[in-house]
Each structure stands twice: as C-alpha cells, then as structure tokens.
Amino acid sequence: MKLSKAFWQTYKENPAEAEIPSHRLMLRAGLIHKSAAGIYNYLPFGYRVVRKIEQIVREEMDKTGAQELLMSVITPGELWQESGRWEVMGDEMLKFKDKSKRDLSISPTNEEAVVDIFRKTIKSYKSLPITLYQINTKFRDEIRPRFGLMRGREFTMKDAYSFHVDKPSLDLVYDGLFKAYEACFNRMGLEFIAVEADAGNMGSKDSKTHEFQVIADTGEDKIVYSASEGLAANIEKATTKRANLKPQLTKADCTEVATPNKKSIDEVSSFLKIEQQHSLKCLLFSSVKNNEEEIVLVVLLGDDEINEVKLKNYLGSSHLTMLADNKIESLGLLKGFIGPCGLPKNIKMLVEEHISEDAYYVTGANKLDTHLTGFNLKRDCQSAYEKVDLRMSQDGDLSPSGNSNITIRKGIEVGHIFQLGDKYTKAMSTTVLDQNGKAVYPLMGCYGIGITRIAAAAIEQHHDENGIIWPKAIAPFHLYLTFVGKDPEISTIAEKYYSEFAQKGYEVLFDDRNVGPGFKFKDSELLGLPLRIVFGERDFKERGEVEIFVRRTGEKIFVKESELIEKVKSLYESAL
C-alpha cells in the first residue's frame, strides 16, 4: 500500500476522552473513529488488525472441528421470552419493536438463537458432539462504556456453542477449545493467563469455566496467581489464606467501652490502640432470592474486604446490595456501631472463615458511641451463624495449600469458556434421542472471544511513549518502507524494493509521501509496524547502506543493499 493513496490520518494531540494508552493510541494512529459512546468505526488500518485477529481465531477454531456459521444480529423477542431471559438481561440488552409491533433485540449473546437452530436440525445423539461458531457484531448497552474498544457497546465477538449427549463429551470438547484459545493468544504474541472464573449461579457445581486474561496494568480484572503451584483464579472466585494472622487468644471478658463518634475500623482501632485484625467489621446486605428479601449481616476481620460475588453465590441471590442507611435505622441499628450481639431475629448472620472462635475481638455494641472488647463469638453471640469464605484475596496471601504466597495481577478478559449444562436446552424444550432411544436435554458449552477487545488489549501490553508496538501476527502491515530526501534516484530504488518485498509476500506500507523525515518517523513509530526500512540520502548514496529499525527494541541496523532482503527476512522471522 502506498501511503500517498491511503485513507489514513494521524493526530498529534492526545484525545481528552481517552484514559488509557490503547484508546489514546488507536485514535491518534487513525485506526478507529468514534461514532457514538461505545460505538466505533474501524478505519482501514484498524480494520486490517481486526481481520487478522479474526483470521487467527477462525483458523484455530476450524482446527478443533468447529463449524462456522453466521447468525442474524437481530433476534426475535420470543426466543428470549422462551428461555426466560427477556427480563433477566435487563437494560443491557437493546430491545425494540418493528412496525408490526413485534419484539426484537440486537444480540448481546446468542445461546437462544443457536439452540433454536440446533433444535430444528439435530434429533439424535449420532450427530453429536457438534460445535458451531460465528464471528459477529454484538451489542450490549454497558452501564459505563469506556476505554475505546476495550468496553464498547457495539463490538465483535467470536462466540461458539457446543452440544453434547453427556458430560465426558462436553469435557473433551471444552479441553480442546481451551487449547485452541491458548494457541490463538500465543500466535497473537500476547502474555496471558487462563484463570478459573466464577460460574455465578449458571451451570452446575461441576461445570468448568475459565477466563483468558491478558496481563496489563490497566486491566479491570484481578487475578490471584501463584506460578509455582499452577494457581490462577479470578479474584471473584479465588480462595486464599491470610498470612500473618495473629488472633488475640488471651482470655478476656466481654465489656462495653465508650467510643464517642468512632465509627470506622480505622478510627476505632487507633482509638483503642489495637491491630485492625483484632476487630470485626460488620456489614449489612439486602439479598433478594425468589422475589423475597433477606437481610444479612456479614462479619469479617477488621482489615478484610468483602467479596460480593462470593456472597451473592453463597446466598443464591438474584440481587444483592448494601443495606441502605434508612433501612439500617428502621431495624433499630446504628451505622458504625453494628455488632453480632442483640440483633433483630430475622437477620441472617454469616461469619468469615478466618474469624477464630477461640479469639477475642473488638466489635460494635449495637449502642450509640459504644463498642465491645473481649468479644468471643462462641461465648457471647446469641444468634446462629454460618462460617463462610467471603473475603477478598489480598496480595501476599497464602495459597490454599499454605505453601506459597500468591500475587495479584491485573488482567483484561479477552476470552471466556463456560460449561452451561442443560440450562438453555431445558428452558427451550430441546431434546435429542440418546443411545437408548430416550429423549434427553443436550449439554452445552459456550466459548467467547472479544475480537475487538483483543486489538486494544494487545496495545495495552505492547506500546511505548512513541506509540504502538504491534505483535507481528496482528500488525496492520509487516513492513514500513520509506526514503529520505528529494533525490529521485533514491525514491526509485525504494519503490523497487517496495515491489520486491511485496512480491515476497510481505505486506508493505510504502511511505511515498512528500513530507520530511521527522514526520515520517513519528508516524511510523505511532503506527508501530515491526520493522522500518529507510533509504537515507547519505547512508545509501555514499555508503550503499540501508537502515532497518526494529520497533520493539529500538535497534538500528545498517546493511548493504545486497544483504537487505536476507536481513529483513531473518529479523522478521525472529520478531515477536
């Protein structure tokens, strides 16, 4: 591609709305163009990246035996009503009516649609297992679309769905897709971790689910990680042990002490001169299950944080919120002085597992400006309680075996695989005949990859202050080639190499624009192709040398013209 003819424009200024590097760089490098909040146009150079990502995913999916199809982006409301998700999806799903007043939606995901296709086609176990996939547009009206392609409202996803007559078959295909995902992200040159994810209240207890997380400081997910023990889990699901736990075991009486206006764990523990882990944090939640509200008191060590995902799963609640201040008051409780003693009867009490029944703690007395010291759970608490793992893992915690310390890393979820069981086939009365001629609900797996999010994630991981550093497999072009100066002899030889490299199969961006070298170099570094080849005025004319610049390392290599093709080949082959 000759740059003089390309539809491409770069920008010097950092766009004000862009908070993270990938968003800034994609706008500045002229890869995307904002259409509306969370909705983008992919410009020619940006779309080349998206297509390369799609192609890698397509090839790896095809290798597993999955078959590509393309489902309609708009799906009828009846399918969602049949599965029961028309309401559940909430306002993240864009719903509308056509002129005949029929309900329609723009697909946020396609389980219903694929089950409908499946049930009209497959009747027997003999046709199973089968995996179908598509690469298509999704729309989710995210509460906070942000970070450009990272969390868009309209985005491209590869979504796959597998169908099975039994669990061993689901496990086999699931493991095959797990490996295909690893192959995709390796080919794309991304550093990633496959982590155990939270299954929420989908799927059954033994259903597996993993997320593929690209490691990056700007990631919105936290990963609990121990390389030595092969442990990697999303923090939402991770169970770890606290390090340096020193419970207060010296016997003490349960005594009321005045703590005027001391409400937070910070204030109370410094006022009473105790370590925060010797106090108890009491939090009230409202949990809704089967349309009934339950009030729950969660008791944690003072310096622990609640993991609301674990709490929600434990309670099986469809809706969980911190109890509002006015509701706390209406229960006769006082925020800042809440404790486990003398609670109203209808409150369910959950005690975090790390709280010792042999230890003595400081906690709220359910009385204004008053706390209890020497509080012992077994001795002093009148209410029944359940001990549950509810804390958020912290950096430096111990792994479940207690043998190593975990670290917490930030990640960007680029893929998610999930064993759904018979949730959708059952809800949509879809059966096949098994080996014994009996009608059974097939089990399903679903497998997503965020195609457009990957482009952003790759930049988060691979950039510097001058711009993007594309991994070669997804760079918009392989080589950037140009010349310096106005000497026609030099531009002619550069053009000759443009054709020659193109003939050898490279995708070459030939910067034949009539602009200064500073301008060209800035643009080339912003765009971030793996190698830049420059025919310089003096280098070439006087010494017969060509400069090759390696974007990732910043290395400049000068080679004789006769060695150029070989050198580019070897540098390109060894590039990430």
Closest residue to Mg ion: CB criterion: 416
Residue 142 interacts with which of Mg ion, ligand ATP, none, CB < 5 to 8 Å by class: ligand ATP
Count of positions on this chain that bind Mg ion (CB under 5 A): 1
In angstroms, give the least distance from the CB of 154 to ligand ATP: 8
Q: Which residue, 215 or 338, is less far from ligand ATP as judged by CB?
A: 215
Q: SS3 for 336?
A: coil
For ligand ATP, give the closer residue by CB, 302 or 448: 448
Q: Which does 434 bind (CB under 5 to 8 A by kind): ligand ATP, Mg ion, none?
A: none
The stretch near ligand ATP (CB under 6 A) out of 17-25, 348-356, 423-431, 446-454 is: 446-454
**Alpha carbon distance 523, 254 (integer Å):** 70
Q: Which does 380 bind (CB under 5 to 8 A by kind): ligand ATP, Mg ion, none?
A: none
Q: Is 445 in the site for ligand ATP (CB under 6 A)?
A: no
Q: What is the largest CA-CA distance in the chain?
A: 95
Between 165 and 414, CB nearer to ligand ATP: 414
Between 196 and 397, CB nearer to Mg ion? 196
Measured CA to CA, the distance from residue 113 to residue 125 in angstroms comes to 20
Peptide bond into 76 cis (omega under 30): no
- Per CB under 6 A, does 157 bind ligand ATP? yes
**C-alpha distances out from residue 248 to 90, 149, 272, 362, Å:** 47, 50, 14, 10
- Kindly tell me which residue out of 23, 48, 52, 140 binds ligand ATP, with binding defined by CB under 6 A: 140
- Rounded Cα distance between 315 and 294, Å, is 10
- List the alpha helices (DSSP H) in 324-450: 325-330, 377-380, 423-427
Q: Which is nearer to ligand ATP, 23 or 453 (CB)?
A: 453
- 414 near ligand ATP (CB under 6 A): yes
Q: How far is the CB of 18 from ligand ATP (least distance, A)?
A: 16
Half-sphere exposure of 418 (CA within 13 A, CB side): 22
Closest approach, Cβ 314 to Mg ion, in A, equals: 20
Quote the least distance from Cβ 514 to Mg ion, whole Å: 49
CB closer to ligand ATP, 39 vs 69 = 39
- Give 352 or 413: the residue with its C-beta nearer to ligand ATP: 413
- Residue range at the interface with ligand ATP (CB under 6 A); choices 4-12, 411-419, 430-438, 549-557: 411-419
Which of 152, 336, 442, 536 is the binder for ligand ATP (CB under 6 A)? Answer: 152
Give yes or no for residue 415 binding ligand ATP (CB under 6 A). yes
| Shortest distance in whole angstroms from residue 152 CB to ligand ATP | 4
> Residue 157 binds which entry of ligand ATP, Mg ion, none, with Cβ cut-offs from 5 to 8 Å by kind?
ligand ATP
Candidates 206, 202, 205, 198; CA nearest to 420 is: 202
Stretch that binds ligand ATP, among 4-12, 111-119, 410-418, 556-564 (CB under 6 A): 410-418
Rank residues 140 and 371 by Cβ distance to ligand ATP and give the closer one. 140
Q: Around Cβ 393, how many Cβ atoms within 10 Å?
A: 24
Give me the DSSP letters along 45-73.
HHHHHHHHHHHHHHHHHHHTT-EE----S
Reference 247, options 357, 346, 333, 163; nearest CA is: 357
Do β-strands 130-139 and 67-68 pair in parallel, antiparallel, or remain unpaired?
parallel
Stretch that binds ligand ATP, among 149-157, 227-235, 386-394, 512-520 (CB under 6 A): 149-157
Residues 481-520 that bind ligand ATP (CB under 6 A): none
Continuous segment of H or E residues that includes residue 173: helix 167-187
With a CB cutoff of 8 Å and minimum separation 6, the contacts of 293 are 286, 287
Smallest distance from Mg ion to CB 448, Å: 7
Measured torsion, CA atoms of residues 511, 515, 521, 526, in degrees rounded to the nearest 10: -80
Stretch that binds ligand ATP, among 318-326, 364-372, 444-452, 558-566 (CB under 6 A): 444-452
Beta-bridge partner residues of 139: 154
- Window contacting Mg ion (CB under 5 A); options: 25-33, 50-58, 414-422, 557-565: 414-422
| Contact residue for Mg ion among 391, 416, 472, 532 (CB under 5 A) | 416
Which member of 28, 52, 453, 520 binds ligand ATP (CB under 6 A)?
Answer: 453
Buried b (16+ CB within 10 A) or exposed e, 26-63: bbbbbbbeeeeebebebbebbebbbbbbbebbbebbee
Helix, strand or coil for residue 559? Answer: strand
According to DSSP, the β-strands at 479-483 and 508-511 are parallel
Q: Residue count at the site for ligand ATP (CB under 6 A)?
A: 15
Measured from the CB atom, is 432 or 446 closer to ligand ATP?
A: 446
Token representation of residue 542: 């006087």
Q: Which residues of 435-464 are buried (b: 16+ CB within 10 A; e: fewer)?
A: eeeeebbbbbbbbbbbbbbbbbbbbbbbbe
Residue 274 or 427 having the CB closest to ligand ATP = 427
Rounded Cα distance between 57 and 190, Å, is 14
Residue 217 φ/ψ region, left for φ over 0, alpha for ψ in the -120 to 50 degree band, beta for the rest:
alpha
Residues lying near Mg ion in the complex (CB under 5 A)? 416
Residues lying near ligand ATP in the complex (CB under 6 A)? 109, 140, 142, 151-152, 155, 157, 413-416, 448, 450, 452-453
